[in-house]
């Protein structure tokens, strides 16, 4: 039987706190360090490996983490989630995004519907629609093919799909499967929509409106912005728009759209990239076969996330080490540092995934917790970040754990040898050097040039950033975040923290304000 308890009530957590910290600089030095890096690695699916050699753990701490995972019933809670128990206690909902990309457990029946079959059915509808668009069977009014797809959505309807598109755009060009250029409109700032509209040919553009409720203020505002542009161009908006929404939303059966594809309340926005939220735009951009490869990679990582052995479960292991860093070592921030320009927006997606899921100060029963929970997440691609915030990472007063991502080969294959090495080799040399510099530091009598070291990191390594590798990468972090939520006894699947600002914004727009809120409204000329 599963029990949900605060972390600080568990004997295994108290034992974890009593373990002796690792002297990371010493542990990573010499042949002992080499053997540590070789042995502290585990596969994470789609040819990717999770290496935690430079994280602040040893055999004693790993054993303590395994006992904590066992007492906290972490893999049992994951199984309860994918088998269809009500895990989102705040909204009394199931959490089923895994069913979009595999069958981890038994059939999940909810509301009288087999949810696996429902999600696969919507994927099939999207595939059929996309194939007709690519074949020129669905066209604009002039009978011409659509060449651009524009996603209109915000939060999880934008961040994940946008990050994935950008990650695969150059790969698709090389592979000859970039079917349509994709653009994204998310911000209610009119400059966002106007900027996108100014650089596309609206007559050959298909717009994907994504809103589960059909009432999202920013999304509906941008939809009106786009419809106005289409009308001004002499076009019928209903010939250029599709909806991704729920079956009960006002968008579901509207004649304003060429087609509507459905999701439900059991797939949260920040976990929705493998549903129709990502599936429609990414299939239009790259083809359904590429999106299927992405889902297959995610499914591989999901299977590994079921393993009760923490050393064979990279998502759980990453989560547990993160809990140790946050709650025992007291590190409040984590940096995600992909050494791949294609992953330029991946840290932004992880910010929402992690901070919206576990940025909570009450447990899943609405009771205050007495320990730190989700860390602050930030990041930029290497090597750009090295010339930006790495100064603080190396010599600042806070120790910030680092999560590197690197690939042995570039996506496009175009490179040049300069000073005896290629650009890709230089990129990989930088990430290897940074890991060791952070871990071991450098002694110097000039304190301005001294590096303390002891700064922990892990690295996810792959051969090349492909759709399958990207799927595994996404699923790894999704499962890591969920495992940390279980460890902290949080509900990682609601987001009440985004609601208050929305309510007050509506009051401002209705001119129903007083006090300081009215003054701010007046200052902004609302």
Residues 356, 394, 476, 480: which is the catalytic one?
Answer: 356
Contact 439, 455 (CB under 8 A): yes
How far apart are the C-alpha atoms of 9 and 138, rounded to whole Å? 59
Q: Can you give 86-106 as a three-state secondary structure string?
A: CCECCCCECCCHHHHCCCCCC
173 a catalytic residue: no
How far apart are the C-alpha atoms of 266 and 252, rounded to whole Å? 17
Tell me the sheet residues that pair with 451.
442
Residues 132, 408, 426, 502: which is the catalytic one?
Answer: 502
Residue 180, preceding bond cis, omega within 30 degrees? no
Q: What is the DSSP string of 102-166?
A: ---SS--EETTEEHHHHHHHHHHHHHHHHHHHHTTSS--TTSPPP-EEEEE--GGGTHHHHHHHH
Dihedral sign from CA coordinates of 359, 363, 369, 373: negative
Tell me the sheet residues that pair with 403.
336, 458
Residues 387, 408, 426, 442: which is the catalytic one?
Answer: 387
Let me know if 259 is exposed, middle or buried by CB neighbors in 10 A (0-12, 13-18, 19+): middle
How far apart are the C-alpha atoms of 327 and 329, rounded to whole Å? 6
Q: What is the DSSP string of 388-419?
A: TTHHHHHHSSS---EEEEEESS-SS----EET
How far apart are the C-alpha atoms of 510 and 502, rounded to whole Å? 13
Give, in degrees to the nearest 5, the angle at Cα 42 between 166 and 14. Answer: 105
Contact 214, 251 (CB under 8 A): yes
Tell me the sheet residues that pair with 57.
none
How far apart are the C-alpha atoms of 115 and 118, rounded to whole Å? 5
356 a catalytic residue: yes
How far apart are the C-alpha atoms of 99 and 82, rounded to whole Å? 8
> Smallest Cα–Cα separation from 479: which of 319, 258, 241, 247?
319
Active site residues: 356, 387, 502
């Amino acid at each position: 039987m599963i029990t949900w308890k605060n972390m600080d009530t568990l004997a295994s957590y108290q034992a974890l706190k009593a373990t002796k910290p690792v002297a990371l600089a010493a542990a990573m030095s010499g042949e002992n360090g080499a053997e540590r890096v070789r042995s502290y690695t585990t596969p994470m699916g789609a040819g990717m490996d999770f290496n935690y050699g430079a994280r602040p753990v040893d055999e004693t701490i790993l054993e303590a983490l395994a006992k904590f995972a066992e007492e906290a019933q972490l893999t049992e809670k994951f199984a309860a989630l994918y088998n269809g128990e009500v895990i989102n206690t705040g909204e009394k909902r199931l959490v089923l995004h895994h069913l979009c990309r595999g069958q981890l457990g038994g059939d999940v029946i909810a509301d009288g519907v087999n949810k696996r079959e429902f999600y696969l059915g919507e994927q099939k509808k999207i595939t059929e629609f996309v194939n007709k668009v690519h074949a020129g069977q669905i066209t604009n009014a002039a009978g011409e093919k659509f060449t651009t797809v524009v996603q209109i959505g915000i939060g999880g309807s934008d961040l994940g799909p946008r990050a994935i598109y950008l990650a695969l755009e150059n790969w698709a060009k090389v592979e000859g499967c970039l079917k349509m250029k994709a653009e994204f409109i998310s911000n209610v700032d009119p400059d966002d929509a106007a900027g996108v509209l100014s650089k596309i040919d609206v007559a050959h553009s298909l717009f994907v409106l994504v809103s589960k409720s059909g009432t999202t203020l920013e999304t509906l505002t941008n939809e009106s912005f786009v419809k106005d542009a289409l009308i001004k161009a002499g076009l019928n908006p209903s010939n250029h728009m599709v909806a991704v929404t729920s079956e009960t939303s006002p968008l579901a059966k509207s004649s304003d759209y060429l087609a509507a594809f459905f999701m439900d309340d059991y797939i949260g926005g920040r976990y929705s990239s493998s549903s129709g939220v990502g599936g429609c735009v990414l299939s239009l951009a790259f083809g359904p076969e590429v999106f299927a490869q992405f889902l297959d990679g995610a499914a591989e990582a999901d299977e590994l996330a079921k393993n009760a052995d923490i050393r064979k479960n990279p998502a759980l292991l990453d989560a547990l080490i993160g809990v140790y860093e946050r709650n025992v070592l007291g590190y409040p921030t984590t940096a995600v540092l992909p050494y791949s320009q294609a992953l330029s927006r991946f840290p932004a997606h992880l910010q929402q995934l992690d901070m919206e899921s576990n940025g909570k100060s009450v447990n899943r029963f609405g009771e205050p917790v007495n320990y730190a929970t989700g860390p602050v997440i930030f990041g930029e691609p290497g090597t750009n970040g090295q010339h930006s915030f790495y100064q603080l990472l190396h010599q600042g007063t806070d120790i910030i754990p680092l999560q590197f991502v690197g690939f042995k080969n570039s996506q496009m294959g175009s490179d040049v040898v300069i000073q005896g090495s290629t650009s890709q080799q230089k990129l990989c040399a930088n990430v290897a050097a940074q890991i060791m510099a952070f871990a071991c530091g450098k002694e110097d009598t000039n304190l301005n040039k001294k590096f303390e070291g002891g700064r922990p990191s892990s690295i996810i390594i792959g051969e090349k950033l492909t759709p399958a590798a990207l799927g595994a990468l996404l699923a790894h972090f999704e499962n890591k975040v969920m495992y940390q939520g279980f460890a902290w006894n949080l509900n990682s699947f609601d987001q009440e923290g985004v609601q208050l600002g929305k309510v007050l914004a509506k009051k401002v727009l209705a001119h129903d304000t007083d006090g300081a809120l009215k003054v701010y409204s007046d200052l902004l000329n609302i």
